[in-house]
Every structure is written in C-alpha cells, then in structure tokens.
Chains A and B, each alone.
Chain A
Amino acid sequence: MYVYDEHDRQMMAERVAQFRDQTTRALAGELAEDEFLPLRLQNGLYIQRLAPMLRICVPYGMLRSVQLRRLARITRDYDKGYAHFTTRQNVQLNWPDLEDVPDILAELAEVEMHANQTSGNCIRNTTTDQFAAVQSDELVDPRPYCEVIRQWSTFHPEFAFLPRKFKVAVNASEQTDRAAIRVHDIGLQIVRNEAGELGFRVHVGGGLGRTPMVAPVIREFLPELDLLTYLEAVLRVYNRYGRRDNKFKARIKILVKALTPEGFAEKVETEWAHIKDSPSRLTPEAIERIQGYFTEPDYAALDNATDLLAQQRFENRGFDQWLQHNVDTHKKPGYAIVSLTMKKTGTPPGDVTDRQLEQIADLADEYSFGEVRVTHQQNVVLADVRQDRLLELWQQLGPMGFGTANLNTLTDIICCPGGDFCALANAKSIPVADAIQRRFDNLDFLYDLGEIDLNISGCMNACGHHHVGNIGVLGVDKKGQEFYQVSLGGSSQHDASIGKILGPSFARDDMPDVIAKIIDVYVNKRTDEESFLDTYRRVGIDPFKERVYA
C-alpha cells in the first residue's frame, strides 16, 4: 500500500492548516455561505438534513488497520460511534460539528488520511476493483495507476472549479468489472495492444444521475506513459467547454453526447498533441517507484487446503454456505479472498460501529497482513486469508455481524443513506432495504436465485447506483409523498447497461411484494443456467410488467 513521503506529508499538513484558516474565516462571517461551500465540499464536508456530514477519502478503497482504528476513535470522540461505508469506497461520518472538522482532518493526517476532493466540482477519489492484485485474471495491479492519478489530481490548480464533479475508475481484469468503469466520467480499462505493450482503453462520458449513460470508448489504446497528459487534455476540454449554465447538464457525458464521441475525441487529440511530450509525461521510473509500494505481501508457500476445507464444509453447513458465497479464489495457492458483508438485516447497508471498525482492524492484522479494501457494494474485503484459517475466521464473524453469507445475492443491497440522513434525498432508502431483507430471509432461496444486484437510491443523484442494478429502486417525491420507481436490467459490468423503468411507482409498504413478484417471474421463466439478468434480457420487460401491475 502507498506510504507518504515527506512531500505528501507536507502537502497534507498544509491542507489541514488551510482548511483550519478557511473554517475560522467562515465562522467569523468573513466568507459567505456560497463562498465557503466549495471550500468545505473539497474537504469532504456537507451540511446535511440533521448535521454536517464528513466524507473521508479512502484512496481506491485501501485501508490499513491503524487507519481503521483511528476512524473508530474519531467516530467515538467526534461523532455518535458509527461510520458508513459509501458506494464510492469512502467512509462517511454523519454527525461531526463544523468547528471540529479541522481537528478531525488533523487526526486523519496523522495516519495518512484526508477528506480532499471527496465532494465538490473537482476530480474525486479514483476507484478500482476490490480484488486488485489478488485475482488471477488481471493484466497488472491497477492500484499504482490509481495512485499516480491521485497525485496528479490532488489540488490540481486548473481543475478545482470544474462544471461538475468528476470521477475516474480503473479496471485491470479482463473478465469482470468490479469498478463499474463504464458509468464513470472516465473509465480506464488496462489492456495490452497487439505489440504486447501496456496501456489503457479510455471510456469517457459515462455516469448515473438524472441522465444515465454508458461511456463510449474515445481511445482504443493509450500507451501507459501517456496517462496523465491525456487525462489533462480530457479535463481541459471539459473545463473549457462543459456546460455551466445548467447543473443537470454539466457532467462530461452531456458534452460528449453533444459533440458526439468522435467529435469529443478529436478535440481531446488536438489538445493532447500540444502537451503529450511535456515533462508531465510519465516515466518508467516514476511508475516503478509507485509500484514499489504495492509489492506482494509476504505470502507463505502453501498448497491449496482442498481436503481440509472439504472436510470442514461437510461438517458445517453454515461454513459451507459462507465459503461458497463470500469467499473468492485467490491467485496464490493456499490463500483466499474473503468479503465481510456489512449487510446484516436490521443495520443500514454499509453502517459500522466504532467497535466493529476495531474488530475489522484486528481481523486484518490477524488474517490479512493488516490491510482491508472497501468495496463500492459497501462491503469490506480481507484479500489475503490463508485457507487453513478460514474456518477459524468465519467462527468469529457471526457475533461481529459480518458473517451474513449473502454476498452478491438479492439482499446484498447497495443503498445510499437516503432521506434518513441526506438533504438531497426525495425519499428514504434504508427502510426499503430493510423491508426487502426481512422479506427474503431464507438463505437457500437466495442462493437458488443466484447473483442479483439490487440497488436503491433515495433520489436522482443515484448514489445507490440504481440505474445499473439488475433491479433498481429510485425514491421519488410525489406531492410530498414518498414513492419508489423500479427499473430492471441494469448492469455495471463489462456488458454495462442502464435499467429500464418498469412503470408507475409504488408506495413504500408495497415494495417487498413488488420485488417478490419480479423474482417470481424470473423463477418461472428462467432456464437452468440463467441468471436474473440473462432471463430479463431474453424475455424482456413485459412479463414482469404484466405480473407486477396485474
């Protein structure tokens, strides 16, 4: 994992001092509310429905145990003893006081954390696959490139006041896309060209929100060393020509659509030609230096514990289910990737207490080289667990609340904080997730349904990624009443697609029934090997419509 050097440390300390000064001026009335707004947003601070909300950055989802423990302490000392894992691999505090935020940032800086650019119209946290470097089908580890982008985008003087927020995601796996790159402003797929050289396929103009779009490819192959100059060209074109007259048309996807992907690409190429050979062009040494921070942990030379696990599974059905659903294949023999689900029924998806944060830290130290990864599905991954210790690990998870063996099933719901917390929301989302989790409490039935993404957003801003859920739920406001619109067929994978709206929206109490009917149609129509998405794509939306509105 990346470790700060004296340059990073100095700039982060300067940033804390700067925000302390800005907060002092805001509290003294020297900064108008609208003037303080972008400054606090670029330090992660929202003013929410009930209190400020602080979004703390977790660069590309990586956390060390010392950082988890510090987060736990901060939630205790400055908040109400819990935190929330977001759908962009970050962490949010729901109840800090404005005047405490500079102190919180100082405490974070001590463990190499910050809240830079987690909000506001700037380049946000770059995200990637939570299985980076431990899965077998990726070309290279994507995280060094995320770190290269983090450094380039941090306090970028030209791009601090973009037309709108800007999100970059990187994926290196050929078969899966856990980073959902096609619904980002820029999605980078790491590829090799015919000559075997490493580079990126560049997607630009994806996004969710009011106008969901799957990003078109604007460059099939960008050589590795050209990454930053090309990003700079894309951002410059966007900064200059993106719409600023209408907040809802200000994302880069609208510009790409207006110019057409070809027209946009041409503008970028023209701009890039001027800067591609500037000193901002990466060097092999610069990349190697960063890669040096992401070396393999000290794996033991092991064989796969196949017989042992078979025996343990045979003796313990719960362990068997958990292994099958929450544990993935690791590239190293004898190791496994474990997903801790933060989706226990009765707890808002992604919420963790201070104690749980410390428990995760302890588990990381004991079982996974002291590191974890936060996922955009709001779960936490222990990426390097020895297979012969899985049973021992699993036995601890139940009491902690992380053992629900529902990863990627219907009840592994992605859900934004919604109207319970968020000032933007039209409707609550957490109670809907809760009601659906309670309705589908039979694990065998969930397993029989297979992988289904159910995503819930409390408003158009789509923090719950509802457009790309196989089943998406969107909270809407109708004359002051909360209703829920359902869409089907979304995907954030390599076959990314935007879900189609089923029809008129539903009252909250009806939602478990509506989901049950949708599931019913799938169960009746599916063939042996079909996932929910496969069946939907084959039969279309009509059978679902007929059943739900019958």
Chain B
Amino acid sequence: MPDIIFRDGSIRQNQWIVVPRPDSGESLNIPDHERALIPADLWLAGREHFVGREDIGVWFDSHDEPEILADHVNELPLIAVNFPKFSDGRGYSIGRLLRERFGFKNELRAIGDVLLDQLQFMKRCGFDTYELRPDKDIRKAARSLNFFSQGYQAATDTDLPLFRRRAS
C-alpha cells in the first residue's frame, strides 16, 4: 500500500484499504484483519452492525451527498473522500461540510486522483491525510502543503477571514 501524507508533511504507513462499491447483485467484500473503508451509504444501511468498530470507516465519491451521515459522522474513525479526477472540485465542498457543518472530528482523508498541487486546498478544506497518486513524488509533499502562510478567506483551518484578522 502506498504511504500516506499527513497535514504536517510527515509520511506514514497506510493502514486502510478502500473497498470499492460492489457491482449490483454482489455483496460487500470486507477483508478480515484489515482496516477497511466502505461506501458511506452501505455503512449507513448496516449501521447497527458497524457502529463502534474502529476498523471500519467510510468513503464518499465526489457526487455523493455527505448529508446522509449528518448525525453520525463522529461514529466513524475515518472518512475518505474520493477525487475521481483532480479537476473535480466537489470533494472540497464535501470536506468543508463534514467538518464545519456536521462537526466531524476524526481523520478526514483525500483519496483518488490526488496530486501535489491540490494538497494546499485539501488542507484548508479540512483534510488531514492524503493518499498521493503513486506516480507522484511523495517527498515533495511537505513543500506543496506549505507554499502559503495564510489565506484571505475563512475555511476549515480558520474561521477568521483576513478582514477580521486585520481588524484585531
């Protein structure tokens, strides 16, 4: 499994397997003895079965509605958001909603077509780990995370936009 980048730029071993959505008629294939991320709606459908398990998290696709887990986010140790193509920006809104609207406190991870130049945006939108596309140079991640020392707007990392910080 490729390593994972943390928001402080450190690189650690990945502990989680992403379980793809099963084809219709197939059942969910959760691996034994490994931590698994399953499609969020399937977790919700089997919530009574999964809740409290520290080895089961969920993933959203970019067209999914995070609202479905609004009341349950903190029952999950990890939520991942898939960026099917780096140019698909829906995941940034999903990240902010999970953090700022639904109050998700545990690990939020970006998966899929994650490239170095998106990391800064993901970090500001509440993502704290990033599964970089394997062909990219993971050693450059720290630099990419830290090009900007601040932002103009409020986001997940700060609820104070620059115009309020200037005033204080």
Contacts and interface: CB of A to CB of B under 8 A. Distances in A.
B120 A282 contact: no
Contacts of A485: none
B125 interface: yes
Contacts, number: 111
A326 B136 CA distance: 56
Interface in A233-278: 236, 239-240, 244, 274, 278
Please tell me the size bucket of the interface on A: 35 or more
The secondary-structure label for the interface of chain A is: helix
A159 B148 CA distance: 16
Nearest to B96: A158
B153 A161 contact: no
Contacts of A240: 90, 93
Contacts of A48: none
A279 B159 contact: yes
A289 B167 contact: yes
A358 B120 CA distance: 39
A160 interface: yes
Contacts of A22: 117
Interface residues of B, number: 38
A152 B161 contact: yes
Contact of A11 (B86, B152, B154): B152
B47 interface: no
B7 interface: no
Given A157-B153, A274-B101, A279 B117 contact: no
A530 B24 CA distance: 67
A154 B167 CA distance: 19
B87 A38 contact: yes
Nearest to A162: B89
B87 A11 contact: no
A279 B160 contact: yes
B155 A158 contact: yes
Contacts of B93: 158, 236, 239-240
A280 B161 CA distance: 6
Contacts of B122: 157
Interface stretch (A13-21, A197-205, A415-423): A13-21
A367 to B, nearest CB: 34
A157 B92 contact: yes
A449 interface: no
A10 interface: yes
A280 B86 CA distance: 27
A121 to B, nearest CB: 7
A7 interface: yes
Interface string A277-291: 011101101100100
13 contacts: A11-B149, A15-B147, A154-B152, A157-B121, A157-B122, A157-B151, A158-B89, A158-B121, A161-B92, A240-B90, A244-B90, A274-B101, A279-B159
